[in-house]
Every structure is written in C-alpha cells, then in structure tokens.
Amino acid sequence: MSHENEENKVRYRRTQSVTRAEEITKKESKQRRSQPDKPCHQPRDSLFSWSSGFNNFTGLVNWGFLLLTMGGFRLVLENFIKYGIRVDPVQWFVVLTGRNEGEGHPSLLLIFYSIVPILICLIVEKGLAADILMESAGMIVHVINIVVLVLIPMVVIHVKGQTFSLVGAMTVCFIYCILFLKMWSYVQVNLWCRTRYKHRRSRSGRRQSISIAQLQNEREHEQERTSNGNGTIPNKEKDAVPKLVHYPDNLHLKDFFYFLLAPTLCYELNFPRTSRIRKRFLIKRILEVVIGVHIVMGLFQQWMIPSVRNSLVPFSNMDLTKTAERLLKLAIPNHLMWLCFFYLTFHSFLNLMGELLHFSDRNFYSDWWNANNIDTFWRSWNMPVHKWCVRHLYIPVVELGYSKISASVIVFFISAFFHEYLVSVPLKTFKIWAFMGMMAQIPLSTVSKFMEVNYGHRWGNIVVWTSIILGQPLAIMMYYHDYMITNYSDVVA
C-alpha cells in the first residue's frame, strides 16, 4: 500500500508540472461554453501521459502478437530454406530407447540398481523403529546411503562413459537426483515421527502392563462412542473419515513406493487423495504428453541443433558481434522449447501421474510469469522443489540458529550443485557454468528488487524475463563449446 501511495504522489507531481488542466474550474468551463465562438477544446491530457488515466492498449497488444507471429514465421521459413526438413522420428526412437548405447544397456542397469539404496533406507527405518539400531548408527547409514546414491552415476558414467548414450546418462542422473531428494524427505519425516512416537511412549509409562481384558473394554467403549446408537458404526461415516496411518505402520514397501512414484518430493504419512480417476482429464493429459514430446523433439532437431552448431566458431574465436547475434538467434527456439517443456512436465505429466495415483495436491506451479523479482520466480515456477527446499533445508537451517540470508545462500548452493550435476555428469565435461549461473541468481535478485522498488513492478518482471530468455542459451553455448573442445578438438580447429 505504501508503494502504491508513493507512485500516486509521483504521478500527481508529474501532472502538476505538465499541465494546468486541474486548475481550470467548472465555473470557467461553463463560461467558455456560453461564448458565441463555439469552443471545442477542454482540459485533457494526451493518452500516453500518466495523468490521462487511459489504459486500454488492446490494439497495441494484438499488434505486438501479430508482429511476433510474423517474425517467428519468417524464422521458420528461413530455417527450412537453409537446412531443409531435419525432423526424423526414427532418430527420436533410437535416441529415446537407448539403442545407440553399448552392450547391456548400462542406463537401465543403473536405474534397476536404484532399488538397492531404496531397500537399504527402508530396512534401516524399520530397525530404528524397532529399536534394533541406535539412532546415531542409523543416521550414519542413511547419510552414507544417500551420498553414495548421488556419487554412483558420477563414477560409473565417468569410467564407462563411452557405453552411455547422452539421453540415457541424463535420465539416470535425473532419476538419482529425484531419489536423493525423496529419500532425504522420507528419512527426515520418519525422524520427526519417531521422535514424537518415543516421547509419547516414554510419557505413557508402564501402560503395556494393562491386561487383555482392560484393552478389550477400552475398544468396546471406543466403538460405543462412534456408534449410531444401535451398536454399529454407520457406513457413511466410515467412508467420510478415512483411517489415518500412524508411525510406524507406514514403514512398508507399498507406502514407500507410492511416495517414490507420487508427483511430490515431500513425504507424508497420509497424502490427500482423490476418490476416483477422471477419464476425460486423464486422456487429455496423455495426449498432451505424447504430442508435447513430439513437439519438443521436433523443435530440438529442426531448430536448436543447427543454431547451436553455428554458434561454435564465433564463440571459439571470441567474435563478440557474431556471438551476440548467435545468442539472440538461439534464444528464440531455446525459450520456445523451455516453455513447451514446462507445460509438458509441470502440467501434463505431473497431472497425469497425480490422476493415476489419486494424488489430489496438484499445486505444481504458480503464476511465475507475473514474478516481479527473481526470488518470486524461484518460489513459484517449480513448486515441488520449492516446498522441499523450504521444508527440509531452509527451515531446519534457520532452526539451527543461522540467519535467513545464510539459509537462502545454502538453498541456492544445493540447487546450483544439482543443476551442475544434471549437466556436467552426462556430458562428462566437469565445468561450473550451471553452478555459477545459479549462484548468480543471488546478486541478480538484488538487481530485480531494485528495479521493482525504484521503477515499478513492470521493470522487475522485465528483468526476470530477460534472465530466463538470455541466460539459458548462453549456458548452452558454453557447454557445447567445452564439449566439442574436449571431445572433438580437431574438428573445432
């Protein structure tokens, strides 16, 4: 509210300094209209002036969209004229199915091996719940198990990298990252539940010495309290209030694997569930996934690959003018692909999984496109990761006594590590461009907030969009250059 008041004051001062329209009284206006010269002028500001109050620019918005459409269509024609039709669904099938991998399909073997750390995690949790393992020993096993989970793809792909396809290596790294985050959440939530469970058990004292007859009487009284007067529990009430799962009854494979497949990174003992599967909704999401994959692959094959290849020589020669031209040309297909990938992943695929698993929390994204600063963007565009960071990293770090700024830096550091992990490990080029790009979000956040506070929400939003549109293609050009220098230096020379 204070920010809006300041803006209104600024606009009022501008109006006073530009025109005397407000100084002309209604009485003077009436006197002018009564004159025989038939006056046609009245105090009005130009439409583009802040003081005019005019805000209907629908025609200009339509003009902008039409201009962008025509420019995009021209780029499409230029691409087809220059490179021909490069879209080949057969190559998509070869790449996505891993037929160009070495013997034994190492990517599939690593994916199947991920069951081992999952089982180790569940066995340790059962041992801790039954007091077979000491708390400290169990936590040490958990830490080693989760850390080794992340290190396995790094070591195996580095040693046997020539047998992995790029898509296979990226899939393995992505799955192992998801497992790392989910297992962290699973261990931490069970630790919270176990601590409360043992605390309650210690307070109850020697309640285990109660006789069987007393337990039966307590159960009968419990049934009488929930009965409908006839000694029976009504079926409607049973259906309306589902029975909650309590610790340690959740420690079994069915519950754990449901969480691993559910479209969330944060574990709960009782997830919100839907009562049925909506068939029309499910069919729509399936069609979107199938069509979306083809659109993304087609854009990548027809538009992205030629643009990235053409950027290699100017980038290697440090020709700033041509590099800037290549960057801007690459930004358009890259951004279009990113938008398609966002919709395909966060709306189509995650809703598809949620519908199949009766998972009713579908808050996978917020209105990130309206973000006025970088912080708001990172809090809204990927809600599963944001919830995990807040619940399992930010709040625990703050509760340990660290400041909120330190906790935010730690969150960005962990995020930067996994961004680098997902790029460098499959490419086998251990650089730090993605890491530096994520850490650069901290000072960029300060810039976007400065623009938002001093120049308005619109300029803060422009900074956000600029970082998205230009940051990603710049990182792609860097990694492609380093990958070609590392593996095909003779070609580049």
* Burial readout 384-414 (b: 16 or more C-beta within 10 A, e: otherwise): bebbbbebbbbeebeeeeeeeeebbeebbee
Give the SS3 label for residue 38.
coil
Q: Cβ distance 383 to 366 under 8 Å?
A: yes
3-state secondary structure of 359: strand
CA-nearest of 125, 191, 143 to 396 is 191
The rounded distance, in Å, linking the Cα atoms of 439 and 135 is 35
Quick check: is 41 catalytic? no
Q: Peptide bond preceding 248: is omega within 30 degrees of 0, i.e. cis?
A: yes
24's torsion region: left (phi>0), alpha (psi -120 to 50) or beta? beta
Q: 3-state class of 371 per DSSP?
A: coil
Q: How many CA atoms lie within 13 A of 69 on its CB side?
A: 6
Cβ–Cβ < 8 Å for 162, 193: no
**Pick from 1, 7, 46: nearest CA to 458:** 7
Token digits for 247? 């610790």
Does residue 308 contact residue 364 with C-beta atoms inside 8 Å?
A: no
Contact 380, 366 (CB under 8 A): yes
Asked if 449 and 307 touch (Cβ cutoff 8 Å), the reply is no
Cα–Cα distance for residue pair 331/477, rounded to 1 Å: 11
CA dist., res. 143 & res. 13, Å (int): 61
CA nearest neighbour of 127 among 138, 116, 117: 138
Which residues are tagged catalytic? 419
